[in-house]
Structure 1
Amino acid sequence: MSTGSKITFGSSCVLAVGTMLWVHSVHRTERLNLQQGPIKDAARVAAKQERRELKKTSEEAAVISRKKMLNEQEHLLQLELREKYAKLQPLDGEIVQGEMASRKD
């Protein structure tokens, strides 16, 4: 064999072995990535669910605080009305009965 053919044969063998090693390493990496896929997906789904729950609780807290504010406003309004009507009709604890109750035949 001539020197040129030996160099060509040697470089072809090195290239073939290198290609085989590269393909095996890529295959191994892809297989590990496929195994990690469901694990990463489960973590992603759990994080998404946690974000939804956090958003839901923050929205519920906002609704509750708004309800509390409205209830307080309503309470103050009712207190004002009570004072207003107490001035018009004082509450003295006396029970007033109508005509039907006073008539006993």
Structure 2
Amino acid sequence: MIGDSGGRAPQFKPVIRGVENVLRALATFVPLVIRSGGPVEPHQVNGQPGSVFRDGNGLVLGTWALDVLDGQIQTIRTVNNPDKLRHLGPVAEAWEALRKANQAPQRPTG
């Protein structure tokens, strides 16, 4: 998993290697996305399958592009740098969105 926040938005480490480490990062990230209340839109990102993440107001939070080989994801490339997202529409203030997501109540599981 490779991230680009340009230092202007929250991100995990710039590079996360290994399936177990990526799964741990995703286990942290996915609940925050759910609590943000925004959609995850399937989208072509730099010619690759991926997604655009938005906050509850529809503002762009980030993108993922998936490098796929033989039906398996090899790399997840994330972009959270607001300067690289503006072409997708109005961009959220990512630090504020993270703060709100962390304060949102968690939904019960099961």
Q: TM-score, normalised by structure 1?
A: 0.19
Give the structure with the larger strand fraction: 2
Structure of greater relative contact order (alpha carbons < 8 Å, 6+ residues apart) = 2
Give the structure with the larger helix fraction: 1
Which has the larger Rg? 1
